[in-house]
Chain A
Amino acid sequence: MFKQYKKYLKITKNSILTVTTYRFHFFFSIISSILYFVIYFFLWRSIYDSSGSTIINGMTFPQVIVYISLAYSIFVLFKTWTEWGMSRNIVSGQIMMDLIKPYNYHHANLARSIGFVFFNFFCITIPIFILLFTVFNSTIIFGINLLYFAFSLCLAFLISFSIDYSIGLTSFYTESIWGISITKEVVIMALSGTLIPLSFFPDSIEFILKLLPFAAIYHIPISTLVTPTLGVLDYCIMFISQISWVIILLGFNKYFFKQAIKVVTINGG
């Protein structure tokens, strides 16, 4: 049973080795994410300064900063370029080399993606957190919620990956996903709480957004960490909603791959 998964482990390992090959990629990833974060900090501070009150939509400035920075670090954590890689391989015909290996294409992509997440975690997430706690004096009360957060984050990753993967699969039909992928990124940023906390939306829209898978990627893990008032029932609802999204998307992708593989024409030579 375990032996079967050793190959995916090695793919993950190779994928980590690949990202770390390029030192400049590493440095600029850190610099760009810190810059982005600093801009957000001042943007939100000016919003709070100009509004004249310390609480907007039930959130204080430190709360917003914690929320936004967590959302952003999850966003970069999950940025694994899955759909870009898939589409590049389709356009160049390199996909053939994946299809002639005795592994599951979905699992292989997942394994590759996990490699990127490891890299992102150590090179982007951790620096942002250090910055958050040292320079901007934010506070999060840690306890058992950290465990829930970790669990929720794993589920969130599966959802995020599944969305990327299904978009990658559309390139089997369209051969190029530049436009689709950019659209996805904007939609996710706007609707998931990465750009603006969900509580800033009108109630009815907030309710709908919370039903979408995007909220399950960002809003739910962050809530498990920063909302101290959650009860057992709240956790159950959150996890059930995440788990159902994982199941729905995995099922959908399985079906989608079966359809997409039929139309694949392998380019070149």
Chain B
Amino acid sequence: MTIIELNNLTKYFKVLKRREGLIGTIKDLFKPKHEVVKAVDNISMKIDQGEIVGFVGPNGAGKSTTIKMLIGVLKPTSGDLAIYNYLPYKQRKDYVKNIGVVIGNRTMLWWDLAVIESFKLLKEIYQISDKDYEQNLEIYNQFFNLSALYSTPVRKLSLGQKMLCEIAAAFLHNPKLIFLDEPTIGLDVAVKEKVRKLIIDLNKIKKTTILLTTHDIGDIEELCKRIILIDNGKLIYDGDIKKFNLIFGAYRTLTLELGEIDDIPIESINEEISDTFKPIEPIILKKKEEIWLTLTINQDDTKLIDILNFLMKKFSVKDIKIEEVELERVIKEVYAGGLK
């Protein structure tokens, strides 16, 4: 069942173009200059009940603007938008009863009060029945031991604890649809893992549709079955995560710090690696105080262990970093036809 439907959704912003310097500022006061920014440009998509969809793009791609239109706080410039047959910005008060929202750098909890006071307020606001409320608190407690945090004022929680509470609060009224905007922003790996587990578990228990905004590839790989990629306000890919993973999930960037290689000419190393392993990008060799070698491989073609063995035999390797591919690169590839 389709629950979200967007047709050519577009949002333009008129922004003040500030001039530089003191004189410019004074000019701005009296004769402001505006320019039009296309934040979201003709986006169409459909989302079904129960899906976890990753809504992905680099900073400033228009993700948050789209989300703001979907949750009914921004009015689209043009295009159609229907969620559960509501027109979000028109029927906001009725519509928002059905959704939950978590926004990474905002809080819906009362800053100065204990967490439980915010939960009690949400209970009244959404008119949650005692039974549902108790049941949810029970689930939170069972899976995440949240009750330890209930009496702490929100301002004294750590970033990770706060995020767990925010997500718990968003699920409290059993919404059918949840928007998570950068839920793992600024968290360390261990806490990220916890937050992802919370999201997956709650999705399983409650069958909630989740629309997840992020620019962290790790979030997407672990949480989503489908991704929607946008850049510069335009939709550039919408489809199965498997296809996406097939190409980008296998890419790894290796960075190695090498010991002395004075006796071997650099060009010959490059050639040798290129011939044997066929890296996806040209090898970068930086020689300053330390020598750093960077190469990106596709794990489907080349076993990581083989290349490490090869390099370890040739050089004395001091340090190794293995990284997943960055979102910016993925987008470049998509433009170049990587998913076609």
Contact = CB atoms under 8 A, between A and B. Distances in A.
Interface in B99-120: 99, 101, 103-108, 110, 112-113, 117-118, 120
18 contacts: A7-B121, A7-B124, A9-B124, A10-B125, A17-B113, A17-B117, A18-B110, A21-B153, A94-B106, A97-B103, A100-B96, A100-B99, A101-B125, A103-B93, A262-B75, A264-B74, A265-B13, A266-B73
A179 interface: no
Interface stretch (B64-72, B280-288, B299-307): B64-72
Contacts of B120: 10
B41 interface: no
Contacts of B107: 94, 97
A93 B103 CA distance: 11
A10 B106 contact: no
A44 to B, nearest CB: 39
Interface in A216-269: 262, 264-266, 268-269
Contacts of A99: 72-73, 92, 96
Given A10-B121, A21-B113, A102-B97, A96 B68 contact: yes
A102 B94 CA distance: 7
A3 interface: yes
B219 interface: no
Interface residues of B, number: 35
Contacts of A18: 110, 112-113
Contacts of B72: 99-100
B219 to A, nearest CB: 16
Contact of A96 (B106, B124, B127): B106
A7 B153 CA distance: 21
Given A3-B127, A14-B113, A21-B113, 7 more contacts: A9-B124, A17-B117, A18-B110, A96-B73, A97-B101, A102-B94, A265-B74
A23 interface: no
A99 B108 CA distance: 11
A10 B73 CA distance: 24
A100 B177 CA distance: 13
Contact of A102 (B117, B126, B182): B126
A21 B114 CA distance: 11
A264 B75 CA distance: 9
A199 interface: no
A104 interface: yes
Nearest to A5: B124
Contacts of A22: 112
Contacts of B106: 93-94, 96-97, 268-269
Given A7-B124, A18-B112, A266 B117 contact: no
B231 interface: no
Contacts of A264: 73-74
Contacts of B71: 96, 100
A269 B68 CA distance: 10
A227 B92 CA distance: 49
A17 B110 CA distance: 10
A126 to B, nearest CB: 24
Nearest to A104: B93
Nearest to B107: A97
A102 B68 contact: no
B110 A14 contact: yes
A266 B74 contact: yes
A100 B104 CA distance: 15
B68 A10 contact: no
Contacts of B73: 96, 99-100, 264, 266
A14 B121 contact: yes
Interface string A4-39: 001101110010011001100000000000000000
B104 A269 contact: yes
Nearest to B94: A102
Contacts of A104: 93
A102 B105 contact: no
A265 B75 CA distance: 9
A22 B121 CA distance: 21
Contacts of A97: 101, 103, 106-108
Contacts of B97: 102
A10 B120 CA distance: 8
Please give me the 10 A-B residue pairs with the lowest Cβ-Cβ distance, nearest first: A7-B124, A10-B124, A102-B97, A99-B73, A7-B125, A21-B112, A18-B112, A97-B108, A269-B105, A10-B121
